Amino acid sequence: EVQLVESGGGLVQPGGSLRLSCAASGFTFSSYSMNWVRQAPGKGLEWVSYISSSSSTIYYADSVKGRFTISRDNAKNSLYLQMNSLRDEDTAVYYCAREEWSGLYYFDYWGQGTLVTVSS
Amino acid sequence: SYELTQPPSVSVSPGQTARITCSGDALPKKYAYWYQQKSGQAPVLVIYEDSKRPSGIPERFSGSSSGTMATLTISGAQVEDEADYYCYSTDSSALRVFGGGTKLTVL
């Protein structure tokens, strides 16, 4: 059974940093591209970042470019999101999502999310 | 930046057909996908490649696409279908994009 479990969320002050982790199991992690998607309270889904299976290709949404860094450790079956210079508007539930291809890249499995609150 | 536009809300009575639309300039060339998100839960894929249904998704869920508009149809909507629905696709640069979401009320 595919499982994605996020951790690392919490309360942080504006300008602070936080590192999210996503532990993957039930599939060959090193064969799949992965993403982070977030959802601000009461708002819609927002794609944040993508990393290919070998880490050779990385994309970011404009809203986080230059502040967030996605990475992965295939030996540990883990995905990470280093978040720096955090802003109030980064407050959200952050989901890690596995990417699959069927006509287009899409997300087939999601974790349950971890809440990040940016507030003074 | 690329946008997918959905109506904020749709309301139907149980047993009626609910239709949720998603418009985007790239949809004539890109597939649309639909996710269902119930309160406090992670999203679940209900339609992929415009009209295909993943295993385990009830037959009342269907999808279609024509021109710049994709449509999610729930035939005979049930109370348990009440949720937020998001369309998803990519732009010409393969950046991932979600629509703003549609709250479906069934009552």
Q: What confidence tens digit (pLDDT) does each residue in A65-117 have?
A: 999 999 999 999 999 999 999 999 999 999 999 999 888 889 999 999 999 99
In whole angstroms, how large is the CA radius of gyration of chain B? Answer: 13
- Cβ contacts (< 8 Å) between A61 and chain B: which residues? 95
- Cβ contacts (< 8 Å) between B94 and chain A: which residues? 59, 105
Q: Do A95 and B42 touch (CB under 8 A)?
A: yes
Q: Please write the tens of the pLDDT for every residue from B65-97.
A: 999 999 999 999 999 999 999 999 998 887 899
The pLDDT mean for chain A works out to 96
pLDDT interval class at B100 (50, 70, 90): very high
pLDDT interval class at B41 (50, 70, 90): very high
Beta strands in chain B (DSSP E): 9-12, 18-23, 33-37, 44-47, 61-66, 69-74, 83-90, 96-98, 102-106
Arithmetic mean of pLDDT, B43-55: 96
The Cα B79–Cα B13 span in angstroms is 9
- Cβ contacts (< 8 Å) between B30 and chain A: which residues? 104
C-alpha neighbours within 13 Å on the C-beta side of residue B102: 27
Residue of B nearest to A95 (CA): B42
**pLDDT at position B1 over 90:** no
Is residue A50 within 8 Å of residue A101, measured between CB atoms?
no
The one-letter amino acid at A6: E
Q: What's the pLDDT at B46? A: 97
